[in-house]
Structure formats: structure tokens, C-alpha cells
């Protein structure tokens, strides 16, 4: 790596980790002057940490077995890279969840004593710990791999092993945490609302604590590991493709890493803008993301021109950013726009129509993102340097992960705050604030999932192409863009329910 890349990427890693420490310190210093609220928060924290400890114990047992197999059949270095990738992913989830369990009760107290804006800000900064941990550890891991192994003959194997470690943790954390949170949520609702006939989050329902624990382990630790894996996967596939297409040109091989570092700088600008903007909460989250993306696009173009990199690749960066913005907008529409009003009307006739129409609406909501991603693949492939362009689009979509993950991790904190407010016996005005912020958090959480899945789709295409090249499978043409467009759009067509749409649109 050249000197500029080393110092700039190093500075961004330090900036991300310092931001995490400052945010954690700020959250911990906020006072909690209500013993009952603190007791409930401690119970949630204990449950979350207990679950995480047991889950991590199982993950590490599996990781050690796989590392031993890698060490025997591949190389000890591959096993070491696999374990490092696993460890960084585990650490990301742990730090993010630790912050969430500290921020939830402080958000509740802010809603009670200071109002909606202060409560929102605490949840946002609590989510920032997860966002910048993902970005910082991701940059640290990839930069370390390039620094130590860029000239190794086993570079592809070592990079793949590193990413595989993160993927293993993401699989366990996302699935395990997700099952726990949904089971606890449904169980709490069944015993509380249906059997006992008491309000949601009522302190007489012991399952409420499990419900709040689930928000932490599933939507914070699990989602963090998922996004972290997508972030690494996008960069790794792009770097490996650069090694194939550009051989030893370090400007192109390190381009994905620099792009991610520029996205990290943009995320910091987005965080600062969120602290100075004085508008409604939803607008702050939206504009912070837009500011980060705009700053990232400008600086990326300047860097590519300065380094003499083919600016056709800049098209892929634009496509990746636009795809992320559009997926976020579509998700926001389907989770907080007219379709939700239609679902509410359908629900007036009973649970059956709620389930049927809700399912059809969810199926319909995936069609536009699939079409947009297909178009993005075609444009990136055609104008952005073939498959390398597609991989860069995936990197660009997640480059500003610091701020996008902050927006996502905000949601579970707001959800927890509502439960703490209800169980602590605070007045209805507090619950109104937390419910409003929680509703916004449900949308941001859905947007985060859209980013994770959309970027994973683009990254998986790149990884598949690397596999085809490495295995010399010249007969496969699934990486041809028109074939992929047909595959994606064809799979999405059955999910678009025209009859349901027109039946309820009036």
C-alpha cells in the first residue's frame, strides 16, 4: 500500500474507534435517577448478556472445530485468519449490545425529564456505537489482511478464510438472535394481551423482560454481525476481483478499502450533522444518511481522479449509493406509508384479513428493490468495469455503514425504552414519546435489513465470479448481466400481487 492509503485508512480506523469510545463514555455518564427503571434495565442487560454468553460459547466451539479443519487441510495461517474474522464479528456484536443496554434506560429518563428530542438523541448516539464499531472493525480487519498478506501466494485463501469467519458468526447470531427475539415477542403478546388481557409491556407480564432482551440480541447484536459480514464480504470480493483484473496494480486492489474509508469519513459528517440539525427525528435520520452519502461521493471522485483510476468505475459507486437510497425509500414507504393505511383498513374485518393482506403486502414490497438491483447490476457491469464494477457497487452501498447502522441500531433502543417506561410506571406522556420514536425505529430497522440483503446480493455475485475464475468453470455464464436480470426479475414476479393491490388501493 502507498503511504497515503496507509495513513488515511489508519486515521479512519482510529477515528471510528475513538468515536465508539466517546459515545460509550457519554452514554454511561448520563444519570439514571429512578431505582425502578434502573432495576428493569439491569434485568434486561443481565438477560441479554446471559444469552450472548451462551450463544458465543457455542459459536466459538464450532469456530475452533472449523479452524482445526482449515489448519489441517489448508494452512495454519488460514485457520488463524478465520479465527480473527470470527473474533472481530463477535466483538462487534458484544460492544453494540453493551451500548444498547446502557442507552435504553437513559433514553427513558430523557423522555420523562427532557422531552422527545433528548430521548431521540440518546437512542441515536447509542446506535452510533454499533454503527462505528462495525465500520471501525471492518476497516481494521481488511487493512490488516492487506498489510500482512498482500504479497502472499495464498492471499485469496487467507482473505476468504477471514470473511468466512465473519459469515459463520453472522449466521449463528442472526438466526439465533432472530429466533429468540420473535419467540419472546410473540410469547409476551400471547400471554399478556390474549390470556391475561393486560396492556403491552405491563410489569405483571414476566415475558416482557424476555421481549426486551430479544430486541437487544436479535436486532442489535444479530443485525450488527449480519451487516458486518456483508461489509466485509463486499470489500473482500472486490479486492479479490481487483487481483484478477488488475493483477498487481495496488491503486485498484486497495480501491475498495479506500472507498470504505471515505464512507467512514462521510459517516462522521453524517453523525455531526445529526447533532446540529434541529428538525424532526425522522428527517434527522434521513438527512444524516444523505449528507454522509453526498460527502462520500464527492471525496471518492476526487480520490479516483487524483490517483489516475479509471473514472468509469465511479459509475458503480453512484449505482451502489443510489440503490441503497432507493431501497431505503421503498422500505420506508412500505413500512410507514399508504400500504400501512390499507393494511389497517383490511385489519378491521379481523385477524384473517390482517394476515393475508399483510403477507401479500410484504411479498409485493420486494419486487421494486429486486428490479432496481437488477438494473444496478446491468449498469455497473456495462459501464463500471464488468464484475469488478458490480462488486464496487456493493462496497459503495455499505461504505457509509457507520451512519446507516447507527440509524438501524437506534430502533431496538427506542423499543426497549418504551418497555422500561411502562414497567416503571411513568406517566402516559412518556409512553407517547417512546411509542412515537419506537414507530420510527421499526422503519429504520427495516431499512437496515434492506441494506444488508441488497448489498449481500451484489457481493455474492462478485464472490461467485471469483469462485468461477478460481475453479476454472468457464462453462457457467450466470455472471452475464442479462442472465442475472432475468433470474432476479423472474423470481420476483410471483411476489407482486396485482389483485390485492388494486382491491385495497381504493
Closest C-alpha among 416, 423, 410 to residue 37? 423
Q: What is the pLDDT of residues 407-423, one digit of tens each?
A: 888 888 888 888 888 88
Closest C-alpha among 182, 168, 178 to residue 84? 168
pTM of the model: 0.88
Query: What proportions of the chain, in percent to the nearest 5, are helix, strand and coil?
Result: 90, 0, 10
Is residue 99 within 8 A of residue 130, CB to CB? The reply is yes
Is 472 in a helix, a strand, or coil? coil
Please give the average per-residue pLDDT across 165-184, as a whole number: 86
Please give the average per-residue pLDDT across 340-349, as a whole number: 85
Closest C-alpha among 289, 295, 261 to residue 274? 289
Q: Is 358 exposed, middle or buried (0-12, 13-18, 19+ CB in 10 A)?
A: middle
pLDDT at 474: 65
The CA distances from residue 269 to 127, 128, 138, 294, 380, in Å, are 16, 13, 19, 10, 27
> How many Å is the Cα radius of gyration of the chain?
23
Report d(CA 144, CA 166) in Å as an integer: 15
Closest C-alpha among 323, 212, 191, 303 to residue 254? 303
Q: Tell the residue number behind the cell numbers 424476555, with chain if given.
A: 210
Q: What is the pLDDT of residues 184-221, one digit of tens each?
A: 888 887 887 777 777 777 777 878 888 888 888 887 88
Q: What is the pLDDT of residues 305-314, one digit of tens each?
A: 988 888 888 9
Which residue would you say has higher pLDDT here, 472 or 174? 174
pLDDT at 504: 46
Least confident of 126-130, 249-253, 296-300: 249-253
Closest C-alpha among 318, 328, 315, 310 to residue 294? 318
Report the alpha-carbon angle 6-12-15, nearest 5. Answer: 140
**Domain span including residue 141:** 3-505
pLDDT at 479: 62
Q: Tell the residue number behind the cell numbers 424532526, with chain if given.
A: 280
What's the structural domain count of the chain? Answer: 1
The CA distances from residue 172 to 27, 58, 219, 398, in Å, are 29, 9, 13, 22
Closest C-alpha among 462, 390, 363, 438 to residue 107? 438
| Cβ-based neighbours of 365, under 8 Å, separated by 6 or more | 330, 331, 334, 339
Which cell is 491 given? 423470481
Q: Tell the residue number behind the cell numbers 497515503, with chain if given.
A: 4
DSSP state of 495: G
Give the containing element (helix H, strand E) for 286. Answer: helix 281-307
Is residue 282 within 8 A of residue 438, CB to CB? The reply is no
Report d(CA 298, CA 317) in Å as an integer: 11
Is residue 397 within 8 A of residue 451, CB to CB? The reply is yes
Tell whether the torsion through CA atoms of 78, 226, 470 and 139 is positive or negative. Answer: negative
Report d(CA 387, CA 369) in Å as an integer: 20
Least confident of 24-33, 431-440, 464-473, 482-491: 464-473
pLDDT at 501 over 60: no
Is residue 285 within 8 A of residue 336, CB to CB? The reply is no
Q: What percent of the chain has pLDDT over 70?
A: 94
Q: Tell the residue number behind the cell numbers 464527492, with chain if given.
A: 298
Please give the average per-residue pLDDT across 149-165, as a whole number: 90
pLDDT at 299 over 70: yes
Mean pLDDT of the chain: 85
Enumerate the H helices of 30-75 as residue ranges. Answer: 35-73
pLDDT at 417: 87
Amino acid at each position: 500500500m502507498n503511504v497515503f492509503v496507509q495513513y488515511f485508512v489508519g486515521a479512519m480506523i482510529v477515528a471510528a474507534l475513538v468515536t465508539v469510545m466517546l459515545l460509550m463514555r457519554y452514554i454511561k455518564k448520563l444519570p439514571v435517577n429512578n431505582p425502578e427503571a434502573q432495576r428493569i434495565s439491569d434485568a434486561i442487560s443481565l438477560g441479554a448478556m446471559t444469552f450472548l454468553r451462551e450463544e458465543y460459547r457455542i459459536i466459538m466451539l464450532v469456530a475452533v472445530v472449523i479452524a482445526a479443519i482449515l489448519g489441517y487441510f489448508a494452512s495454519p495461517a488460514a485457520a488463524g485468519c478465520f479465527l480473527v474474522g470470527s473474533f472481530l464479528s463477535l466483538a462487534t456484536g458484544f460492544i453494540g449490545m453493551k451500548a444498547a443496554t446502557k442507552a435504553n434506560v437513559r433514553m427513558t429518563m430523557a423522555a420523562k425529564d427532557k422531552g422527545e428530542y433528548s430521548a431521540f438523541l440518546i437512542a441515536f448516539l447509542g446506535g452510533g456505537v454499533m454503527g462505528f464499531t462495525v465500520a471501525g472493525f471492518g476497516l481494521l480487519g481488511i487493512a490488516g489482511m492487506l498489510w500482512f498478506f498482500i504479497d502472499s501466494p495464498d492471499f485469496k485463501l487467507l482473505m476468504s478464510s477471514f470473511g468466512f469467519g465473519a459469515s459463520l458468526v453472522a449466521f449463528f447470531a442472526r438466526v439465533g438472535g432472530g429466533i429468540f427475539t420473535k419467540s419472546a415477542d410473540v410469547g409476551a403478546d400471547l400471554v399478556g394481551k390474549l390470556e391475561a388481557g393486560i396492556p403491552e409491556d405491563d410489569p405483571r407480564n414476566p415475558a416482557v423482560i424476555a421481549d426486551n432482551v430479544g430486541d437487544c440480541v436479535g436486532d442489535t447484536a444479530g443485525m450488527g454481525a449480519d451487516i458486518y459480514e456483508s461489509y466485509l464480504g463486499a470489500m473482500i470480493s472486490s479486492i479479490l476481483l481487483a487481483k484478477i483484473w488488475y493483477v498487481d496494480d495496488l491503486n485498484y486492489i486497495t480501491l475498495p478499502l479506500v472507498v470504505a474509508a471515505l464512507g467512514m469519513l462521510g459517516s462522521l459528517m453524517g453523525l455531526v450533522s445529526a447533532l446540529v440539525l434541529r428538525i424532526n427525528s425522522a428527517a434527522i435520520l434521513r438527512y444524516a444518511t444523505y449528507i454522509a452519502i453526498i460527502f462520500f461521493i464527492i471525496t471518492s471522485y476526487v480520490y479516483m481522479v487524483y490517483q489516475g483510476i479509471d473514472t468509469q468505475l465511479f459509475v458503480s459507486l453512484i449505482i451502489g449509493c443510489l440503490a441503497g437510497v432507493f431501497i431505503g425509500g421503498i422500505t420506508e414507504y412500505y413500512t410507514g406509508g399508504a400500504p400501512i393505511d390499507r393494511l389497517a383498513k383490511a385489519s378491521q374485518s379481523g385477524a384473517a384479513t390482517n394476515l393475508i393482506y399483510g403477507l401479500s403486502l410484504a411479498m409485493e414490497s420486494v419486487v421494486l428493490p429486486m428490479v432496481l438491483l437488477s438494473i444496478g447490476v446491468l449498469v455497473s457491469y456495462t459501464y463500471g468495469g464488468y464484475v469488478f464494477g458490480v462488486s464496487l457497487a456493493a462496497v459503495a452501498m455499505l461504505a457509509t455503514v457507520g451512519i446507516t447502522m447507527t440509524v438501524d441500531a437506534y430502533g431496538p433502543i427506542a423499543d426497549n425504552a418504551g418497555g422500561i417506561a411502562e414497567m416503571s410506571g411513568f406517566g402516559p406522556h412518556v409512553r407517547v414519546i417512546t411509542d412515537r420514536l419506537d414507530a420510527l425505529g421499526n422503519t429504520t430497522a427495516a431499512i437496515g435489513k434492506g441494506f444488508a440483503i441488497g448489498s449481500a446480493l451484489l457481493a455474492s455475485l462478485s464472490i461467485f465470479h471469483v469462485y468461477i475464475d478460481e475453479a476454472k468453470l468457464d462453462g457457467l455464464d450466470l455472471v452475464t448481466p442479462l442472465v442475472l436480470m432475468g433470474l432476479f426479475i423472474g423470481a420476483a414476479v410471483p411476489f407482486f400481487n396485482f389483485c390485492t393491490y388494486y382491491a385495497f388501493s381504493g
